[in-house]
Structure formats: structure tokens, C-alpha cells
Amino acid sequence: MFAVLKTGGKQYKVQAGDVLRVEKLAADAGEKVQFNEILMVGATVGTPTVDGAGVQAEVIDQIKGDKVINFVKRRRKHSSKRTKGHRQQLTLLRVTDILEKGADKSGVKAAIGAGSVSGAAAAAPAKKAAPKKAAKAEAPAAAAGSDDLTAITGVGPAAAKKLAEAGITTFAQLAAVDVDSFDAVKVKPEWVEQAKSLA
């Protein structure tokens, strides 16, 4: 039985026992990995992939491909030229099993590319999302017993923060402030007038 799997932007037709060179995977030599993007198994064609199918393989080694030399020579402009070399990072695999069903319950590590964005992106948003949710949760808690002082003309976020530190969080508290005797923050008489109308 054969399968067609997709990895590293390429498709490979494999059978049990085949040795493959694929784009570098995040796995060490001797580890077992499983490819879950299976486009075809035997006579079953996926739409676009076959559900529950998988190809298991053992990592033989991490290798480099053949050297590719890119030489650019321009005929004019004082004969400029440039040489660049490149050796692609590859993973050498031996296919051990082709599973038509039950690959999602096998417990074998999924084959993820070493420079894969999907592997890094899966972990990073989870870490970044938690502080945002915490900040959003704190904001309604703080707003429950307070008014939005930035609704007053001339009070920006910095002034609202200073007023909050001084213990003024509502329009009623700001309306009760005596402008001449209040020293914690410089309060303008217009703010007090607007706070009275909003309270």
C-alpha cells in the first residue's frame, strides 16, 4: 500500500521501508514522527486530506543537500559579478508505517518543520492572549465603581490616572473638589463645572 503525503511544501509518494530526504524537521536522529497531511492512501483520495490517516517515519539523520552555486555576471557596468552558495538543510527519514485510520490516536509526535511558523505561532498567541484578557478583566472591575473622567474636556489619560491616584474616580467626587485647596493634582475650574453637569 502507498500514500501521498505533504511536507515542506512538497508531495511525496511513499511505501513502508522507503527512505526520504525532506525539508528539515524539528526532530533528532532516532525519533519517530508522524505526518498527518495525507492526500491519498491506497485508493482513498482526500478532500483535500484523508481524515484519520497518517504516515509514521523514523528520523535517520539531519543532513545537508548538495551545494548550489548561484553566479550572476552582468556584461556591462564594469563587469560586476556575484557568487552565492547554498546547502539546504534536510532530514533523512525511513517510512515505517502507513495508517489508513486511527493516526490521530497513535500518540506519535507530529512532524513539524524546524523553521515552521505554525509551530511557533501555536504557542506564542496563547502567551500573548493571557495578559490582554487579564487587562480587559481588570478594566470592567475598575470601571464598576468609577466614571470615565476622560469624557471631560481637557482631561486626558494622564490626568485621569493622576486623579485616580489621588482617589477621584467619579464625576461626583470631582464636582465636590475645592480647586483652591486641592493640592494632589492641579484641577481646573472648568473640570469641576463639567463634572457637576455630568454627575
> Across residues 7-19, what is the average pLDDT?
93
Beta pairing partners, 91: 22, 62
Q: Please give the angle made by the CA atoms of 46, 33 and 24, to the nearest 5 degrees.
A: 95
Show Cβ contacts of residue 108 under 8 Å, excluding neighbours closer than 6 positions.
Answer: 32, 33, 34, 54, 56
- Cα separation, 30 vs 60, whole angstroms: 6
Output the CA angle 41-62-107, nearest 5 degrees: 45
Average pLDDT in the 64-75 region?
92
Tell me the per-residue pLDDT of 75-88, one tens digit each, with 9 for 90 and over: 877 778 899 999 99
pLDDT digit string (tens) for 143-178? 445 677 778 877 778 888 888 888 788 878 778 877
Task: Give pTM, 2 decimals.
Answer: 0.53
